[in-house]
Amino acid sequence: MRLLRERVSLPVLLWLVVLWLLLWGDLSWANLLSGLGLGLLVTLVLPMPKVDFGLRLRPVRIARLLARFLLDLVRASAQVAWLACRPGRQPRNSVVRVPLHSGSDLFTAMTAEVVSLVPGSLILEIGAPSAREGQGVLYVHALGAGDERARERTRREVLLTERRIVRTFATPAALAAYEQRCRADGTATLRERTRRDPS
């Protein structure tokens, strides 16, 4: 019984049962019990390592992050639609290298996901934080970033996305380490765009 408690995670077991039922496409006692048995077997034979995500949930910041993401989504969709429909030459694109500061695989992946979901930008490669002195790197394919000013704007937007994610989910210790890396890199003064800031 102790082995079951140590090795079996209830959320993982429930997820495996749900996946089993979805694969069969039929909710029956036989499928439920066979899914439960198979889920127990998988979690006992192939136990997942314990992962401490080290997250701290801040509901107000989560709401702000979602609102900002939706705003970026609408704005970028309009920009991509305009670039696709406007007459004349097609815009030049660039691959922009953006060094991150979170020092976490999780925050690097979250930043990459949010950036990729916004139209006009696509993550081509992710360099893990452990690969470069605690800093992850994203290589972003940016639509319409043909000059240095546009590439710098892309870097700025990615770094601001990372900052929003870290400030929303990081523990106080992880947030302090992030802020220290930003100060060392010179990006601690990066601010959200205002109406007076045209860049």
CB–CB of 118/70 below 8 Å? no
Which of 68, 101, 86, 70 has the alpha carbon at shortest distance from 188? 101
Residue 148: pLDDT above 50?
yes
Evaluate if residue 176 carries a pLDDT over 50.
yes
Q: What is the mean pLDDT of the chain?
A: 85
Per-residue pLDDT band at 105 (split at 50, 70, 90): confident
Percent share of the chain, pLDDT over 70:
86
Lowest mean pLDDT among 38-47, 152-161, 172-181: 38-47
Q: Is pLDDT at 198 greater than 80 in this prediction?
A: no
Residue 186's Cβ-count burial label (10 Å; 0-12, 13-18, 19+) is exposed
Flag whether pLDDT at 58 surpasses 70: yes
Domain ranges of the chain: 2-45, 59-185
* Confidence grade of residue 199 (pLDDT, cut at 50, 70, 90): very low
Question: Which is nearest to 76 in space by CA: 127, 126, 31, 114?
Answer: 114
